Amino acid sequence: MTGPNGVLNNSGLTENLGYAFKDKRLLEEALTHKSYYHENREIAPSNNERLEFLGDAVIGLIIVEYLFLQEKQYPESVLAKVKSYLVSEMVLADIAASISLGKYLLLGKGEESTGGRDKKSILADSLEALIGAVYLDSDYKMTKSIVMGFFREKIESAIESGEFFDYKTELQEKTQLLYGVLPEYRLIQQQGEEHKRIFTVAVYLNGKKLGTASGRRKKEAETLAAKKALAKIG
């Protein structure tokens, strides 16, 4: 199977992934979006939806297992929230972009013309399919090594920052209920080089500062500022 972007020349992807497929057909299937399959059924025997379904389950198991075996025994409610955050479209698409997955996908003409290679939904689904393909081509141990390589830092960051918990929504609901107004977030400072930037954000209510926090992403800083604000207003 070949595509307009030479998908069979995927050495860059396997290098970024850290895994060389024994069965190249599994890799091709993982990279075949349904839009390409529908337009090229004579040369595309399948699309990546089944592998996506499998990969979603495999990623979820590996993440939950890692969290479950931590020395700090997190309650079920925390396990569920952390897992839900980590397998979200945003996080999966971010990982997919980090290995340039989009440029190796086989897309139909419509998806190609509308920027499908950068769509978060397509990137997230394709990453799940890719992990599903790795699992079938290797074993659980290898798949776990690859998945944790992608997720370990994100898991630790989520737990440390509390980003998995929606402090911003809770603050918004509480301030509306108590004061009838919405909180306002202001970017106070940006420091560091682009790939190591630190953002500092303050959250205000009626012009009064309730909390200030810093993070590696603006959203993380806002989340931590909201957490501080919630503690302040009780």
Q: pLDDT, tens digit, for every residue of 71-124?
A: 888 888 888 888 888 999 989 999 999 999 999 999 999 999 999 999 999 999
Annotation says 128 is catalytic: yes
For residue 150, give Cα distances in angstroms to 46, 105, 131, 202, 227: 27, 19, 11, 30, 27
Query: Which domains, ranges and CATH numbers included, belong to the chain?
Result: 11-161 (1.10.1520.10), 167-233 (3.30.160.20)
Average pLDDT over residues 49-77: 92
Strand 208-215 to 184-191 pairing = unpaired
Does 165 or 14 have the greater pLDDT score? 14
Q: Are 221 and 191 in contact (CB under 8 A)?
A: no
- pTM: predicted TM-score of the whole model, two decimal places: 0.71
* Tokens 């700090």, located at residue: 72
Say if residue 3's pLDDT is above 80.
no
Among 128, 137, 163, 220, which one carries the catalytic annotation?
A: 128
Most confident of 89-98, 131-140, 166-175: 131-140
| Three-class DSSP category at 199 | strand
Annotation says 23 is catalytic: no
Among 28, 29, 52, 56, which one carries the catalytic annotation?
A: 56
